[in-house]
Structure 1
Amino acid sequence: MNSKVIALVAVIILLAAGAGTFLALNDGRAADRELVDGELQIYGNANGDWKIDERDITALESIISGEAAAGEYSDANLDGVIDENDISQVRALIDGSAQRIWLVDGDGHDKEISRDISRIGCEYYSNTELMLILGQKDKVTAVDNAPYQARDFYFGEGSAVMNMVNMNAPDYELVESMDLDILLTFTYAGAEEKQQKLTDVDVVYLGMYRPNVEEPTKSEYFQGILKAGYIFGCVERAEEYMGWLLDIRDRIDSVTSGISEEDKPTVLMTNYSSSYFQTGVETSTWSVYTSIDPMVQSCILAGGHPAAKDVLTEDQYSGTSSRTLYAVKVAPEAIVAADIDYAFCHCVKYTFAATVVAGPDHGYAVSDQTQMDEALATAQGRDLVDIDNIVIIAGDFRNGASGCMLLAAYMAKILHPDLFADMDPLEYHQSYVSDWMGIEDYDIRSDGVFISPAMA
């Protein structure tokens, strides 16, 4: 019996053994799990765990009496004094009556945020989709140009949602005219400048730009979802969504954790637009995503070996100590020399900077698969590299509020179809649209375009 057959048998045994575990994770007790690994970065979290609850009041009472030392987030109203006012603030956070909330944003800045919110501005897909997931759709007043192109999908035909256009270099007069209460930024970059310019708006970077598909509970992304739950008064909904994402992660991991390294296919996570696959220019450099990008994390969770490990330096692969290097330009010789089994090519059509990228149309607002399939045929026709399996993937996986967890499910099915015979990624995707975003009368199989070759 060869090694791959042995590995297959071993993983099937693990899958059977893990079935009970997966069912246990879906028995309605998701809220019992710790959804954030470490301290929830909201002031009032006096006992330093992952949520605001009665235990924080007990901790505050001990601090006020002198029986315990204050923690980093004990000062609930951030006034420099821990007293009965902090207990009142925590009680208000628990029952949802707090007028304001003090927290640390996704980039480490203290923020004071009003909870009197009726007009929300959302940058890019992740924040837009998160607001739908948390039941705030009717309060979304404006989005940037990218989600605006899909406004009928997100908000329904005839929606009055406004276009903030280019939020990479905003027209501040335009944004000010929209009378927003809060603006959720796409990335950490530029958030502080936007706050300085928009003095009457709470500008908040939640952390949605930095998921961690392998360990979601350690991510700024999970912190951000839960912080949003407290900001918008929908904590339970946020916790349920986080639990759903963890269920998907656990189901995939219960299988792929049993695959030996030598039996994992080597997978290149790259882009399509302006690449060799699109242009045919053999001297083109290749964008290779690093380990801090959730697409590479999806590859690892799905049971793939990232080609990035083989073609990048250790420092590059790690994203560098600054955690800002998401992709590296690599000479074509390195890609040609690598032994790559699969290439997954990320596409973006509409950018955060209100530009339109040359490449196939795709996403929730596109129902015609033709352009994605033509892009795949073009890539398959290039002969500089010998990669048997090429897949074109929609940017929605990377840039939406699923944090690439849906991509991990698709990739697991593609890389290991026998091991995931009973898992349908399209069912997860349909649930994301219907159950979480609340979009009705939408069939993920016929109304959107997300991957080529298409998955039945």
Structure 2
Amino acid sequence: MKKMISNPLITMLLVSCISLITLPLTAAGPCMPGDADEDDELTEGELADAILSYVYEREEHLELDELRDAAHVYVYWNGEPKTIVDSMDRTVAIYKPVKRMVVLTYPVAEAVKIVKAESGVVGVSNEHILPKKAFFPILSDLPNIGVPPRPDREAIINLNPDIVFTGRILGGNDGLEDGLPDTIALVRWDMGRLERITANVNQVGYLLDKEEEAEEFCDFYKNYIDEKIKGRASEIPEEKRMRVYIEMDHLGGNMAFASGSSGHEICVAAGGINIAADLPLQSSAPIVEVEKEWLMKEDPDVIIVVVTGRPGLCGYEVDDPEGMEELREDAVNRPGWENLTAVRENRVYLIHNDLVGSTANFIGATYVAKWLYPEIFSDLYPEEVHQEYLTRFQRLNYNLDEHGVFVYHKEDS
């Protein structure tokens, strides 16, 4: 909401200041520029004094960039800081329009692109973003600040960002809370959770003055998930729902997605029953190691293996499904698996984690819905909605008919 300005002189001066603003993103700082009494409220009088101090070159005055920021905050932020509560229940405040941000995780970088704010990114992680040149053609050329669990704090500080975006910590400590100066804000998002995506993307848009862009995606997302998937899935009788074992492949053993995980949420959204949903967690991560005997006893109707952490197997940089085919063969040939209903009935599917634990999880939910209930969801075409997402919201010139490996089933070979 824009603030009404009563003083004609202030109006004229503000127009002069705002006309110089070139990048209306958002920034962090200990207080708003021009907020002389530091009470987190930039008043008309304070702004007038700041402008006149600059015009008359008083001994103490804001620099021109700071004056631009103050004008932006007063007019577009109602003279107040922007505040959110992130996925770690941390209250984060930002105080001025930003020019520079560091992004550490793939799903958050994906969201920054959705709201068309990637031009403000100055550094990224070498594990989640730099290797993904097809998906991040611009961000993948930026400076490397390490991996999300162990970011190079000195490298981050040297890039002089206004804000750092990263993921939610599940155990451990990446040192960012204590390792960054208070002039750099830190936001943590669990961006891969289907039930939180729209709230999180809206927060990204809010912080970056990109509310309209965020709203466009969220409207699309909610319409697709709620009407085309959840709405139909809710009508499936409990006794006819598929019982699903959904596994993360790269951790070793039988590692199942439990309640609170991205895999669980897309399974439930698609109308499936996650057989590992209520198992007791062994750590803060919603992933549970299960015994082979337990899996044999549960005997799921469908098995879904979420593939992650294995370069060259799948993703936007891969065109050959051979690696996924081999991984599926390894899975179905585990000792005892030949007796599972899902294996006997050829209902074992592989899917790339980029369609499960990211803002593209609605695409993963579409695939899962088609696998579980092909007749009910016969009119849904996952590749088509995936292509729309890439073209419309990621603005990529990427043809899924020619490139990419994201899912695998024996019949696809």
Q: Percent same amino acid at aligned positions?
A: 22
Matching residue's letter, 2:314: H
Q: How far apart in 2 are the matches of 1:116 and 1:178?
A: 17
**Which of 131, 137, 140 is the aligned partner of 2:121?**
140
2:240 is equivalent to residue 255 of structure 1: no
Matching residue's letter, 2:350: I
Q: How far apart in 1 are the matches of 2:234 and 2:109?
A: 33
Matching residue's letter, 1:296: H
Aligned length: 348
Post-superposition shift, 1:122?
1.1
Determine the structure 2 residue equivalent to 1:379: 331
Post-superposition shift, 1:223?
2.6
Determine the structure 2 residue equivalent to 1:171: 152
Determine the structure 1 residue equivalent to 2:50: none
Post-superposition shift, 1:170?
2.0
Are the structure 2 counterparts of residues 413 and 167 from structure 1 closer, same or farther at C-alpha, using a change threshold of 3 Å?
same
2:294 is equivalent to residue 334 of structure 1: yes
Equivalent position SS for 1:269 = strand
Q: Is the 8 A contact 1:99 1:115 kept in 2?
A: no
Q: Is the 8 A contact 1:120 1:180 kept in 2?
A: yes
Q: Is the 8 A contact 1:343 1:391 kept in 2?
A: yes
Determine the structure 2 residue equivalent to 1:182: 163
Q: How far apart in 2 are the matches of 1:407 and 1:177?
A: 38
Determine the structure 2 residue equivalent to 1:343: 303
Q: How far apart in 2 are the matches of 1:144 and 1:337?
A: 42
Equivalent position SS for 2:236 = coil
Matching residue's letter, 2:240: D
Determine the structure 2 residue equivalent to 1:444: 400
Q: How far apart in 2 are the matches of 1:84 and 1:295?
A: 45
2:230 is equivalent to residue 270 of structure 1: no
Determine the structure 1 residue equivalent to 2:180: 198
2:180 is equivalent to residue 223 of structure 1: no
Are the structure 2 counterparts of residues 119 and 82 from structure 1 closer, same or farther at C-alpha, using a change threshold of 3 Å?
closer
Equivalent position SS for 1:162 = coil
Post-superposition shift, 1:238?
0.8
Matching residue's letter, 1:208: M
TM-score (norm: length of structure 1)? 0.68
Equivalent position SS for 1:146 = coil
Are the structure 2 counterparts of residues 287 and 139 from structure 1 closer, same or farther at C-alpha, using a change threshold of 3 Å?
same
**Stretch deviating more after TM superposition (95-104 or 159-168):** 95-104
Determine the structure 2 residue equivalent to 1:399: 357
Are the structure 2 counterparts of residues 83 and 120 from structure 1 closer, same or farther at C-alpha, using a change threshold of 3 Å?
closer
Q: How far apart in 1 are the matches of 2:75 and 2:139?
A: 37
Q: Is the 8 A contact 2:42 2:79 kept in 1?
A: no
Are the structure 2 counterparts of residues 296 and 393 from structure 1 closer, same or farther at C-alpha, using a change threshold of 3 Å?
same
Q: Is the 8 A contact 1:347 1:360 kept in 2?
A: no
Are the structure 2 counterparts of residues 207 and 115 from structure 1 closer, same or farther at C-alpha, using a change threshold of 3 Å?
farther
Structure 2 residue runs of 5 or longer lacking an equivalent are 4-31, 48-69
Q: How far apart in 2 are the matches of 1:134 and 1:167?
A: 22
Equivalent position SS for 1:374 = helix
TM-score (norm: length of structure 2)? 0.75
Post-superposition shift, 1:168?
0.5
Post-superposition shift, 1:188?
4.0
Determine the structure 2 residue equivalent to 1:303: 271
Matching residue's letter, 2:408: S
Post-superposition shift, 1:193?
3.7
Determine the structure 2 residue equivalent to 1:37: none
Q: Is the 8 A contact 1:295 1:407 kept in 2?
A: no
Q: How far apart in 2 are the matches of 1:100 and 1:163?
A: 30
Post-superposition shift, 1:324?
3.7
Q: How far apart in 2 are the matches of 1:262 and 1:179?
A: 57
**Stretch deviating more after TM superposition (182-191 or 138-147):** 182-191
Q: How far apart in 2 are the matches of 1:202 and 1:81?
A: 19
Q: How far apart in 2 are the matches of 1:84 and 1:274?
A: 51
Post-superposition shift, 1:113?
1.6
Q: Is the 8 A contact 2:129 2:140 kept in 1?
A: no
Q: Deviations over 1:196-251 (max 9, x none)?
A: 21214221114425x2x3xx3xx3x4332112111111101111111111111121
Determine the structure 1 residue equivalent to 2:62: none
The within-5 A match list for 1:125-136 is 125-136=106-117
Q: How far apart in 2 are the matches of 1:172 and 1:411?
A: 39
Q: How far apart in 2 are the matches of 1:107 and 1:229?
A: 19
Q: How far apart in 1 are the matches of 2:256 and 2:184?
A: 37
Post-superposition shift, 1:254?
2.2
Q: How far apart in 2 are the matches of 1:325 and 1:159?
A: 28
Are the structure 2 counterparts of residues 191 and 237 from structure 1 closer, same or farther at C-alpha, using a change threshold of 3 Å?
farther
Q: Is the 8 A contact 2:150 2:174 kept in 1?
A: no
Determine the structure 2 residue equivalent to 1:208: 191
Matching residue's letter, 2:249: Y
Equivalent position SS for 2:135 = helix
Q: How far apart in 2 are the matches of 1:420 and 1:401?
A: 21
Structure of higher CA gyration radius: 2
Q: How far apart in 2 are the matches of 1:113 and 1:81?
A: 14
2:97 is equivalent to residue 116 of structure 1: yes
The within-5 A match list for 1:26-37 is none
Post-superposition shift, 1:159?
5.8
Determine the structure 2 residue equivalent to 1:368: 320
Determine the structure 2 residue equivalent to 1:10: none
2:366 is equivalent to residue 390 of structure 1: no
Structure 1 residue runs of 5 or longer lacking an equivalent are 1-51, 55-76, 276-283, 350-356
